[in-house]
């Protein structure tokens, strides 16, 4: 599969037309409601989980109330996880930023597991992303696109991340692949490139019809 700039720009336009306004609202809500209290936490987890079908409640008997209370009972840990001021600058040191994020994602996943009884890596990545747009979103469709041969890019030739230990293996591997592709595409000077547009582009090429896929597959 080759990377086609016209497809990337087309899907970026599609994203801006249909989804960007919703995302902007989510970024705004998550950043305005930073205080860890019942109203803010319940609002954010319900909206992020609902808007992005993150499956937080799937397979668990816990409710939003239960999860909200659990997060508030671990206020100090959550505050540290979402304190991005203590992270490396994602603009100048994106690799170092992601290495820290992978570790924090693991901490958040473990914390939630005590409430919902399962790994919630997708929800955690989405919740963290809307608090900081440089955090990659873990998505089942995007994983399918992020093979090591994606678009003919030699991802193995691009320096990867120094993955932290302990970590969620699946999210760590996902971020490593995402980072390598992101760095490769930066060299193309794509004006629309950011974490969310690349995520959407990868999601869309997997969601294409068979005819559309055939047109861009070698």
DSSP structure string for 134-158: TSPPP-HHHHHH--TTGGG--GGGS
For 98, the 3-state DSSP assignment is helix
User: Closest Cα to residue 45, out of 78, 90, 89?
Assistant: 78
Number of separate domains in the chain = 1
Which residue has tokens 């919630």? 120
- Residue 173: exposure state from Cβ atoms within 10 A (0-12, 13-18, ≥19): middle
Q: Mean pLDDT, to the nearest integer, of 138-155?
A: 73
Residue 69: domain span? 16-141+159-188
Question: Within a domain: residue 211?
Answer: no
Residues of the chain with pLDDT > 70: what percent?
Answer: 88
Question: Within a domain: residue 210?
Answer: no
pTM for this structure?
0.89
- In this prediction, residue 218 has a pLDDT band, given cuts at 50, 70 and 90, of very low
Question: Within a domain: residue 91?
Answer: yes
Element (H, E) at 101: helix 94-116
């Amino acid at each position: 599969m080759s990377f086609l700039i016209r497809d990337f720009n087309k899907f970026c336009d599609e994203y801006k037309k249909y989804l960007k306004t919703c995302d902007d609202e989510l970024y705004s809500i998550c950043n305005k409601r930073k205080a860890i209290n019942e109203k803010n936490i319940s609002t954010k987890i319900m909206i992020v989980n609902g808007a992005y079908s993150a499956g937080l409640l799937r397979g668990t008997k816990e409710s939003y109330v239960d999860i909200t209370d659990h997060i508030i009972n671990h206020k100090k840990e959550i505050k540290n996880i979402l304190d991005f001021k203590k992270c490396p600058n994602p603009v100048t040191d994106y690799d170092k930023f992601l290495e820290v994020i992978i570790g924090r994602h693991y901490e958040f996943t473990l914390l939630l597991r005590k409430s919902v009884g399962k790994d919630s890596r997708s929800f955690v990545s989405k919740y963290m992303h809307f608090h900081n747009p440089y955090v990659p979103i873990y998505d089942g469709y995007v994983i399918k696109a992020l093979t090591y041969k994606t678009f003919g890019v030699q991802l193995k030739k691009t320096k990867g991340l120094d993955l932290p230990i302990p970590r969620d293996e699946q999210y760590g591997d996902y971020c490593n692949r995402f980072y390598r592709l992101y760095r490769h595409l930066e060299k193309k000077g794509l004006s629309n490139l950011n974490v969310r547009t690349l995520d959407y582009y990868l999601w869309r090429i997997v969601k294409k019809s068979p005819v559309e896929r055939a047109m861009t597959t070698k």
